[in-house]
Amino acid sequence: MHKVKAKGILSATNGMNIYRGCQHGCIYCDARSKCYQMNHRFEDIEVKENAPELLENALKRKRRKCMIGTGAMSDPYIPLEKELKLTRRCLEIIDRYGFGVTVHTKSASVMRNIDLLKSINDKSKAVLQMTLTTADESLCRIIEPNVSVTKERFETLKVFHENGIPSVVWFSPFLPFINDTKENIDGLLKYCIDAKVRGIICFGIGLTLRDGDREYFYSRLDRHFPNMKERYIYTYGNLYQLTSSNNNVLMNRISEVCRKHGIMFGVENVFSYLHKFESKTEQLSLFDRI
């Protein structure tokens, strides 16, 4: 870990990454890619120690309330967060200033902040985004070794629903020849149905590989899936987008199940929902006047 004084915290789309790098060890992580120009070892987490101050200054200047997002590039609930509590401090500021928030994670540690997320959701909108990749717990321990297993994430989704906080699940990535199966998709869909998630995001059945990410991924395939790297190279070469041969069948399956159970599906629809700020306090005020 090393700390830095960042110059800014919010992107043009109101996203923030408090940490840079990750401790989860997912074998497919795109954030390892060289194109992101990380000048330190990926596991040596860069901590933006002034993130709360930068966020407060940014929110003070905003003329309109909006949704603030975190977790797009670096999970806000890596183990360091338990000690540093920077994500929590940022949520406290979002709550205080009446903004909405969407938090993207793979960790059940988000439960530590459910009190704040509930408070935000009571006034505006808080959405939990959770990534699910495999219903096989043993496989999960291999491809996502240092993060909450899928069952723990499912239990977290259930608790959030019970507390009135909506959730969106990301189905991503699906590794060709490994977890791109109907059995896996159906297992994940059952979790989503049982947890009453609001929406599912899936860009397709497959994964992306770039320089930096590709080398790490292949080294892990060599360690855990003998001869699989050679199968990937033979099938995909150096392609960026590695689409499963099961893509069409499985995407149709996801769409069909979502339609049947009233789960929002389609990237544009779900993103529109995530970015839409809603103020319950303004609605209540209007109701009182009526």
Q: How far apart are CA 165 and CA 198, in angstroms?
A: 10
Tokens describing residue 24: 């989860």
- In the beta sheet, which residues pair with residue 46? 2, 20
CB-based contact 281:98 (threshold 8 Å) = yes
DSSP 240: S
**pLDDT for the residue 37:** 86
Q: How far apart are CA 222 and CA 147, in angstroms?
A: 21
Helix-, strand-, coil-residue percentages of the chain, each rounded to 5 = 50, 15, 40
The answer to whether the bond into 173 is cis (omega within 30° of 0) is yes
The CATH number fitting domain 2-280, selected from 3.60.10.10, 3.20.20.70, 3.90.1150.10, 3.30.70.240: 3.20.20.70
**pLDDT for the residue 283:** 54
Enter the pTM of the model. Answer: 0.93
**pLDDT for the residue 282:** 60
For the chain, domain boundaries: 2-280
Q: How far apart are CA 47 and CA 73, in angstroms?
A: 13
**pLDDT for the residue 73:** 87
pLDDT in tens, the chain (290 residues): 999 999 999 999 999 999 999 999 999 999 999 998 888 899 999 999 999 999 999 999 999 999 999 998 899 999 999 999 999 999 999 999 999 999 999 999 999 999 999 999 999 999 999 999 999 999 999 999 999 999 999 999 999 999 999 999 999 999 999 999 999 999 999 999 999 999 999 999 999 999 999 999 999 999 999 999 999 999 999 999 999 999 999 999 999 999 999 999 999 999 999 999 998 766 554 444 44
